[in-house]
Amino acid sequence: MCDTFVALGNVTKNGAVIFGKNSDREPNEAHELILIPKAEHPKGSLVECTYISIPQVEKTNAILLSKPFWIWGAEMGANEHGVVIGNEALFTKIPYDKSPGLIGMDFLRLALERSRSADEALDVMINLLETYGQGGDCGLAHHLFYHNGFLIADRKSAWVFETAGKHWAAEKVKDIRSISNAISIGSTWDRSSDDLVSFAVDKGWCKSESDFTFGGCYSDLVFTKFSEGRNRQCRTMELLGEGRGKIDVRYAMSLLRDHGPNAGEDWQPGKGFSGADVCMHASFGPIRVSQTTGSMISELSEHGDTHWVTGTSAPCTSIFKPVWFDSGLPDLGPQPTETYDEATLWWRHENLNREILRDYSVRIKEIQVKRNAYENEILNRISDLLNDSASAREAFTKAYFDGANQREETWLKKIVDIPVKHRRPLLDKLAWQNFDRKARRAD
């Protein structure tokens, strides 16, 4: 489960486009950050995606991806031309193709590699969908099949692109927009597949074109309901609406860290059998199997793009770190997997994250102010850094990632000594013990 949003320049604080996404996956499904340089490929060559190979293009763009470690594609990413995309699982009445094919995350990476604008990225994905369809298992430890929605943006515009099998609709964004795990396009759109409405009428999902809505006709009501996608989209749209005129990177960070309108100082993520918030925390039960495993924010401007990534789970316990295409990523250690490895950025952070979860409302207070202060240091310097040399930004990025790691190590040492004041719900405790056991991480 995931949440993605965009605010165009006509409603942001400084006229830049602000894009953000939380990727919600299995609690041990480590996220990986990679930056792939642009490349030229031999004519007639193939590109090997997650499950299948398709014809490669002669030139591919440089891309930044935040991705589940085992998937070729990505949950979210950007390219050197200022195109950013996030994807969402959608549950529809169209049967899922369970044979190996292109999955939504492959569509996302292919579009980033092959486009220079949001319009081009949309065209790439439409062509891929109509040529290959979509299919394949998207789960790591558990089988998971779904269709996909996407939010595509560049420095000037954005599109919502939602699919059900090979049926699709696309809506041009006017100012603010968010998507989640439910079809959000209703009775109006800017582009669509030719039979979008007629297919639904033939199936008896609506009586005529006049009472057709994409979400109403094509959504699988059970899985859509339990994903709580509509509730989360309402929440992100509410926050975006409240932020008109003041939306910036800091506002985007707070949005991705949101636990809902009722999350007071004593809020605990482990309570209840449901709990699908924007900043998502897994717990016990069949509908609490997802955790925010990676987050990304992009500030897109003609003056330069800055991408903020956590590379770690739970944005509320993470530090957002800046990345630029011309200065690259620092050494993040080996590729993470579903097995605990302290040498990796993602799993090192899990030590901190999972200690905080033992008594969230008390322990999160140890890092909140310090986390925000560290992020504010760089937020106040972005303009200067964009005007500096690539080598200077490279050195800064490395120092900032190192500083984030050192701070998390310091915070962890303090947090383990903070007495637990609130007894953790037993089922939540058992769930996380099970996650740790599967990851071979000592509790």
Active site residue 206: no
Provide the residue type at 110 as one letter.
L
Residue 105 to residue 87: CA distance in whole angstroms: 7
Determine the Cα angle at 414 with ends 409 and 418, to 5°: 140
CB atoms within 10 A of CB 297: 27
Residue 100 to residue 109: CA distance in whole angstroms: 17
- Output the DSSP codes for 65-126: EEEETT-SS-SEEEETTS-EEEEEEE-BSSPPB-SS---HHHHHHHHHHH-SSHHHHHHHHH
Residue 31 to residue 137: CA distance in whole angstroms: 18
* Three-state SS at 52: coil
Buried b / exposed e along 158-186 (16+ C-beta atoms within 10 A):
bbbbbbbbbbbbbbebeebbbbbbbbbbe
Residue 346 to residue 188: CA distance in whole angstroms: 41
Q: Single out the catalytic residue among 2, 49, 279, 316.
A: 2
Residue 254 to residue 317: CA distance in whole angstroms: 12
Decide if 343 contacts 333 (C-beta within 8 A).
yes
Relative to beta strand 158-164, strand 147-153 is antiparallel
Residue 405 to residue 423: CA distance in whole angstroms: 29
- Output the DSSP codes for 307-365: EEE--SS-GGGS--EEE-TTT-PPP--SPP-SS--TTSHHHHHHHHHHHHGGGHHHHGG
Which residues have C-beta within 8 Å of that of residue 329, sequence separation ≥ 6? 33, 34, 35, 64, 323, 397
Residue 104 to residue 137: CA distance in whole angstroms: 11
Active site residues: 2
